[in-house]
Amino acid sequence: MLNKKALSPLIATMLLLSVSLALGAIVMNWGRNYVADEQLNAPNGDRLCEQYVSLRLVRMAEKPLICHTESTLSFIIENLGVKSISKMQVSVLGSDDVFSTSVTDAIEPAAITKITIPNVPAIGTIQEVYIRPVIKHEGADIVCWDSIEPIREIGGCTDEIV
């Protein structure tokens, strides 16, 4: 009778390859879920902001639609992200002082909104405006610090601007 073995080398190779592929798939699936969880739970929500938040000041003829009067600041902003902006922190740097406020107007994804901030105190000539969106994640407010560059082109309001 022929010398029979329990598994031929070919079957053993196929079995080893199948087990290796299955184990690799399990590790890859676990790794993908782990990385996704870590990104969502990153300190200060930095990665959450990078993935889901994108604000842009609307421009017309290459000029940003932002202007001021003696006591107001107005701008038109667009939410290009996929998450709603629950509020914004706006800081206005003047030549004499700084003014900061929270704007509670929500901006839905793909929405364009005009924001007017009343009662801006006299802070001298406006140098820069910082707009920082705030999103809600698991009941907590997350401030997205680097979502939009500081705005330096701020003119006086006319009917054509805002």
What does the pLDDT look like over 71-128, one tens digit per residue? 899 999 999 999 999 999 999 999 999 999 999 989 999 999 999 999 888 888 889 9
Q: What is the pLDDT of residues 112-146, one digit of tens each?
A: 999 999 988 888 888 999 999 999 888 888 898 87
The answer to whether 55 touches 77, Cβ cutoff 8 Å, is yes
Helix (H) or strand (E) holding 59: strand 59-60
Q: Do both 143 and 100 map to the same domain?
A: yes
Query: Do residues 48 and 69 lie in contact, with contact meaning Cβ atoms separated by under 8 Å?
Result: no
State the residue range of the domain holding 31.
Answer: 9-41
Evaluate whether residue 132 is within a structural domain: yes
CA distance 143 to 100: 14
At residue 147, the 3 state secondary structure works out as coil
Instruction: Specify whether 109 is located in the same domain as 87.
Output: yes
Tally of domains within the chain: 2
Do residues 28 and 66 both lie within one domain?
Answer: no
96 and 35 part of one domain: no
Q: Do 69 and 18 have their domain in common?
A: no
Tell whether 37 and 70 lie within a shared domain. Answer: no
Q: Is residue 2 part of a domain?
A: no
Q: Are residues 86 and 19 located together in one domain of the fold?
A: no
Tell whether pTM > 0.85: no
Burial tier of 158 (Cβ tally within 10 Å: 0-12, 13-18, 19+): exposed
**Residue 125 CB burial class (10 angstroms; 0-12, 13-18, ≥19):** exposed
Q: Is residue 16 in some structural domain?
A: yes
Pair type for strands 126-137 and 112-117: unpaired
